[in-house]
A and B are shown apart, each in its own frame.
Chain A
Amino acid sequence: MNYLLHILVMAEIYIILGLAMNLLAGYSGLLSVSQAAFYGIGAYAAALLLVNTGYSFPIVLVGAIVINMIACIPVIAFSIRFRDLFFVLATLAWQVIIFTVLYNWVSVTNGPYGISGIPKPVIFGYQFESLPQFALLAGALCALVLLFFYGLHNSPLSRYFQGVRDDQLTMLSFGKKPGYYKAIAISISSGVSAIAGTLFACYYSYIDPTSFTMDESILIISIVLIGGLGTLRGSVAGALFYVLLPEVLRFVNVPDAFASNLRMMIYALILILMVMFRPYGFFGNYRFE
């Protein structure tokens, strides 16, 4: 039972991350490789606030979101300044720089040793101590994020994002600045990633920089690509697929030593096949050219 709940929590975290990535890659057409950096900054902000200040969970969550929205300003600058491959490279650079800072700024982040003893969330005196309670909390936050993105999907703002993705020149000629909408999309994406980061930090009660590497960024991109760009059910399906794949491997009795590598190999193979034969993913309505 606990095992199923663990999978549920992981799925909820990855659904949130996938939705945040989808807003950039699927709606706004920005292939950002710095999603793990957003995720990491959110996790570290929440962990540091929880350990050092002792504020309650809701305040910390809001704080982490605000910090993340401020920390994404360089990525906004990149998105306005660069296009295509150069944007990818700039965000890639940002990802590596953030990882280096998390790894080396020992006085704040405790470097490679990470931050331990992150308390479980307490909301209005009610403690989310056990696993079922935590899964419930994560589920509630995940549902909120889903609801938020559903509203966004149906709002006019979403049309502007898609305008940025499809034709920036036309946007400009209608008097809408693409840079403005890119900034909104990136801030929202970064803020939502902070929710996933906070949940991650509280769930494991220990974080270190190796959870927020470039590989994690590639993983989050592939989740969205396999699920499908531009739709909500795409991201959800991609995240569920990623989290449930190792469980399928468990049934065929793969030895544990090989399991993680084999899982990534199968996953990479599926990514390549998807890119070649089904660029829309499971449920996408947009694909990269």
Chain B
Amino acid sequence: MTLVNTGAWYTMNTIFLQLAFNGLVSGLLLALLAAGFNLIFNTTRVFHIAHGSFYVGGAYAFYAILQLFSNQSLFFVLLSAFAALLIVMLFASMIEALIYQPLARKKSGQAITLISSMGVYLFMINGIALLFGNETKILELPLGGSIFLANVAIAPIQLVQLAVSLIFLGGVLFISKTKWFLGVRAMMSNESVASVLGVNTTMIRLLAISIGSALAAIAAILTLYDTGVDPQAGMAITLSSAVAVIIGGSLSLRGTILASVVIALLQTATAWFLSSQWKEGMTFVLLILVFFWRTEGIVSYKMRVEEQ
């Protein structure tokens, strides 16, 4: 986040507007990740720490494929993005088929799947670092300088991020209204009953984890053009999205998106008023406060007594 001084003097008001805009854009990016985390968490019941490794993996796959082409025109960018998404979805399905699915068949609890997910995270992050090195990868967007709207500086990449994340969030919300998603909802409330009633839970798990990971990869590619991605960035980003899911009320997609924006606004404000190193700490202070006073999250469904 940079404020470009163009000679205009900034009032407190413009700073707040600028912070709000930056927070909104990064909030929507975080919402992409968090929506993916939410899908995976609710269908597979795995606390998917490895989400961050798919984020990093998506960014690096995109970077590596883009380097193959001499020409970085829009067509090739889209082509590489598509290929990167396919790779990420393939890997996610492999993880699901090889690790999460067998564990679920053994009726393992959340502690055990969480630990296996930690293992996947360590494995993938170190694999990526082994293949591509530990440096931050960053790409330049071949577009002009910032646009000014009511003294608020808007970088071109922010507009792209805003548009793409809105499109995909809209897509996710649209999917959540379709008939197919009813099966997912049934699975969220009771997996074994849903499977007895003919919902193909195996397929839904597979689809949810690939779509969720693809959403993470999209957010990663958008970040690659902005601040860059390094292998260690995965953990912080998973934790932020997990916090968004928990704070937003883990069953509600809209709550997750709302909470992501709230978290991003908090992080932007923290980075501006304190320092960017306090961002994560503040996110988790928020998590603990929500835990103590509103365990079910901001947006919550009423549950029947026996479900609580």
Which residues of A pack against B, CB within 8 Å? 31, 81-82, 84-86, 88-90, 92-94, 96-97, 99-101, 103-104, 214-215, 218, 221-222, 225, 258, 261-262, 264-265, 267-269, 271-272, 275-276, 279, 287-289
Bound-complex Cα distance A99 to B126 (A): 22
Q: Of residues A93, A214, A221, A269, which shows the largest number of chain B Cβ atoms within 10 Å of its Cβ?
A: A93
List 5 A-B residue pairs with CB atoms under 8 Å apart, sorted by A's residue number: A97-B284, A104-B281, A214-B235, A279-B112, A289-B108
Q: Which residues of B lie under 8 Å from residue A268 when comparing CB positions?
A: 119-123, 126
Q: Any chain A CB within 8 A of the CB of B142?
A: no
- Give min CB distance, A275 to chain B, whole Å: 5
Within 8 Å by CB of B112, from A82, A96, A275, lies A275
Question: What 5 pairs across the A-B complex have the smallest Cβ distances?
Answer: A100-B281, A268-B122, A93-B284, A268-B123, A288-B111
Q: Which residues of B contact A261 (CB under 8 A)?
A: 126-127, 129-130
Interface assignment of B292: CB less than 8 Å from any CB of chain A:
yes
Partner of A96, one of B109, B114, B126, B284: B284
Check A276–B102 contact: CB distance below 8 A: yes
A82 to B287, CA, bound (A): 13
Determine the chain A residues whose CB is within 8 A of the CB of B130 once the complex forms. Answer: 258, 261-262, 265
**Cβ of B242 and Cβ of A89 under 8 Å apart?**
yes
Query: Contact between A288 and B281 (Cβ–Cβ < 8 Å)?
Result: no
A34 to B120, CA, bound (A): 20
- B80 part of interface (Cβ distance < 8 Å): no
- How far does the alpha carbon of A13 sit from the alpha carbon of B287 in the complex, in Å? 32
Closest CB-CB distance, A175 to chain B, in whole Å?
Answer: 27
Min C-beta distance of B197 to chain A, whole Å: 26
Give, as a whole number of angstroms, the nearest-CB distance from A101 to chain B: 7
Closest CB in chain A relative to B267 CB, distance in Å: 12
B122 and A275 contact, CB distance less than 8 A = no
From 258 to 300 in chain B, residues with beta carbon under 8 angstroms from any chain A beta carbon are 275, 277-278, 280-281, 283-285, 287-288, 291-292, 295
Contact A89 B246 (CB under 8 A): yes
Enumerate chain A residues within 8 angstroms of B285, measured Cβ to Cβ: 93, 97
- Interface size on B (CB < 8 Å)? 39
* Chain B binding surface SS class: helix
In the bound complex, residues from chain B placing their C-beta under 8 Å from that of A90 are 287-288, 291
Given A31-B111, A100-B278, A288-B111, does the pair A275, B119 have CB atoms closer than 8 Å? yes
Q: Which residues of A are found within 8 Å of B114, using beta-carbon distances?
A: 31, 85, 88
A96 touching B280, Cβ below 8 Å: yes
Binary contact readout B105-148 vs A (1 if CB under 8 angstroms, 0 otherwise): 00011111011101111110011011000000000000000000
CB distance from A228 to the nearest CB of B (A): 14
Q: How far is the CB of B114 from chain A (nearest CB, A)?
A: 7
Which residue, of A90, A101, A269, A272, has the highest number of chain B Cβ atoms within 10 A? A272
A contacts with B: majority SS:
helix
B99, B114, B119, B275: most-surrounded residue (chain A CB, <10 A): B119
Tell me, in angstroms, the Cα distance from A100 to B123 when the chains sit together.
25
A96 and B292 contacting across the interface, CB-CB below 8 Å: no
Structural contact, A289 and B239, CB atoms closer than 8 A: no
CB distance from B57 to the nearest CB of A (A): 14
Q: Which residues of chain B have C-beta atoms less than 8 A from A100's C-beta?
A: 277-278, 280-281
Contact of A288 among B109, B275, B295 (CB under 8 A): B109
- B83 within 8 A of partner (CB): no
- Decide: B116 and A265 in contact? CB cutoff 8 A: no
- CB nearest to B242 among chain A residues: A89
Q: Is the CB of A103 within 8 A of B277?
A: yes
B47 within 8 A of A: yes
Q: How far is the CA of A92 from the CA of B243 in the complex (A)?
A: 11
Q: Which residues of B contact A81 (CB under 8 A)?
A: 291-292
Chain B, Cβ-Cβ closest to A289: B109
Q: Which of A85, A99, A267, A272 sits near B120, CB closer than 8 Å?
A: A272
Cβ-defined contact, B277 with A93, below 8 A: no
> Which A residues lie within 8 Å of B246 (CB)?
89
Partner of A88, one of B111, B122, B295: B111
Which chain A residues lie closer than 8 Å to B122 at the CB level?
A: 215, 218, 264-265, 267-268, 271
B306 CB to nearest A CB, Å? 17
Cα A268 to Cα B281 in complex, Å, equals 27
B103 at the interface (CB under 8 A from A): yes
A265 with B111, Cβ < 8 A, contacts A90-B291, A101-B281, A276-B99 known: no
Query: A96-B280, A276-B103 given as contacts; is B235 within 8 A of A288 (CB)?
Result: no
Question: Is B278 in contact with A93, judged by CB distance below 8 angstroms?
Answer: no
